[in-house]
Amino acid sequence: MARRRHPHPIEHSILITATLCLLAAGAVMVFSASSARSVLSGQGDGTSFMVKYVIYGGIGFVLMHVIARRGLDLVLKATLPLLAFSFVCLVLVKMPGFGVSVNGARRWLGAGPLVFQPSELMKLSLVLYAAKLLAERPKVLAHPRNLMPLLLVAGGAVLLIASQPDLGTSLVICFTMASMLVAAGMPIRWLATATGGGSVLILLYAMSASYRRDRLMTFLDPWAHAGDEGFQAVQGQIALGSGGLFGRGLGNSQQKNLFLPEAHTDFILAIVGEELGVIGICGILFLYGLVAYAGLRVAKNARGTYAKLLAAGVTSLFLSQAMLNVFTVLGLAPLTGVPLPFISYGSTNLIVLLMGMGVLLNVAAGGHVTLRVVPGARNVAGSKRNGSNDPDRRRRDSRARGAGSGGRRRAAG
C-alpha cells in the first residue's frame, strides 16, 4: 500500500496563494504602467515590459518550485559559493569595462537585454549566510564582539552596494540583518545602540554628496522643489491623490503618460493608487500581510534553529523591501530606488525574491537541516536558563556524552 503524503500546513498554501496573486497583480500593473510610455516613445505596441515580466516571473517560478521541493541541504551547500559569487560580481560592477551605468548609477553586469543586478543576489546570499552562522555559532550572541564575522561580511557588502550608489538596497540589507539578529535572541539594548550608530552613519552618508543632500531636503518639502529634485515625489503624490477611494479605473492613469518617472518600477504603487484607489493599495498591503503572517508562523513552527532563522530572514527581506517602497511612494521616506516586491518590473529582483520564496516554502513543508555546533560555541544565556550550572546536571550530561559517539555534540539546525 502506497504511503500517504502528509498535507502541507495552511501557511504553505497561504504563501503560494499570496505569491500568485502578487505576480498576477504585477503583470497587470506593469502592462498598465508601461504601455503608454512605450507607445508614446515609439518602443513597440506597449506589451514589451509585460512580456519580459512574464518571462522573468516564469524563470523565477521554476526556480522557486525546484528550491521548494529540494532539501535544505542544497541551500546550505550553496550558501558560501553564492556569497562569494555575489561579492565577486559586486567588485566587477565597479571595474571599467564590466559594470553597466544607468542614470548615473553603476549597478548592473552584462550586455544588452542580458543584465543582472548583483546587489539583489547579495540580499538573499546574506540571509542564507547569517542563518548558517547564527545556527552554527549560538555563542556569537553572548558578547557584541562575537558578532564581528557577520558584521564584517554584511558591512563589506553594504559598503560595496552603497558605493554604486544604492542606499535603498543597503537599507534593506541592514533591516533584514537586524531582524535576523533579534530572531536569534540578540538583546534589544544592543539593537537600540546599533540603530543609533547606524542612523548617524546613514545621515553622514546622505550628507556626503550634493545630490543626496538635495534629495534629503526635497523629502522634507517636495512641493518646494516640484520642478527639479522633487518632481518624481510630487507626481507620485498627484497620482495617489487623484485616485481617491476607488480609483480612475484600470488603465486610466494620467500620470503614467510621460509625467511620472519610473512608473512601472519604483513608483508602480502610485499607479495602483491612481487606477484602483485606496482599495487597490489596501489589497496589495493585505497580500503582504498574508506573507508576513504565514512567514512568521513558518519561522515559529520550523524544525531547528537553522530553518527558523531562514524563514525569519526571508520574511524580513520581503517586508523590509515592501515597507521601504511603500513609505517612499507615500512620501514618508526619501527616494531610495527600491522596487515593490513581486509587483515592480525588474528581472533580477523578481527572480531572486521568488528564489527566496522557494526557501520559505521549503521550510513551511517541513524542510530542516542538522548542523554541527562549532566547539565551544554554546549559548551562555541558554546554558544558564537550562540549569547547566547544576553539578548533578553536568554529571548526567557527561555520562550521556560518554555513552554516545565519541562525546561529539550535535544540534538540530
For the cut 80, the answer to whether the pLDDT of residue 189 exceeds it is yes
What average pLDDT score do residues 309-331 get? Answer: 95
SS (H, E, C) the chain: CCCCCCCCCHHHHHHHHHHHHHHHHHHHHHHHHHHHHHHHCCCCCCCHHHHHHHHHHHHHHHHHHHHHHCCHHHHHHHHHHHHHHHHHHHHHHCCCCCEEEECCEEEEEEECCEEECHHHHHHHHHHHHHHHHHHHCHHHHHCHHHHHHHHHHHHHHHHHHHCCCCHHHHHHHHHHHHHHHHHHCCCHHHHHHHHHHHHHHHHHHHHCCHHHHHHHHHHHCHHHHCCCCCHHHHHHHHHHHHHCCCCCCCCCCCCCCCCCCCCCCCCHHHHHHHHHHHHHHHHHHHHHHHHHHHHHHHHHHCCCHHHHHHHHHHHHHHHHHHHHHHHHHCCCCCCCCCCCCCCCCCHHHHHHHHHHHHHHHHHHCCCCCEECCCCCCCCHHHHHHCCCCCHHHHHHHHHHHHCCCCCCCCEEC
For the cut 90, the answer to whether the pLDDT of residue 377 exceeds it is no
Q: Which three cell numbers stand for residue 214?
A: 538635495
For the cut 70, the answer to whether the pLDDT of residue 385 exceeds it is no
Q: What is the pLDDT of residue 240?
A: 93
More confident residue, 43 or 67: 67
Q: Which three cell numbers stand for residue 84?
A: 562569494
In this structure, are residues 174 and 197 in contact, taking their beta carbons and an 8 Å threshold? no
Q: What is the pLDDT of residue 229?
A: 79
Q: What is the pLDDT of residue 6?
A: 60
pLDDT digits (tens, 9 = 90+) for 58-100: 999 999 999 999 878 889 999 999 999 999 999 999 887 787 7
Q: What is the pLDDT of residue 200?
A: 85
Q: What is the pLDDT of residue 408?
A: 36
Question: Which residue, chain included where needed, has cell 538596497?
Answer: 169
Q: What is the pLDDT of residue 107?
A: 85
pLDDT digits (tens, 9 = 90+) for 228-276: 778 889 999 999 999 999 999 998 999 988 788 888 999 999 999 999 9
More confident residue, 402 or 249: 249
Q: What is the pLDDT of residue 368?
A: 66
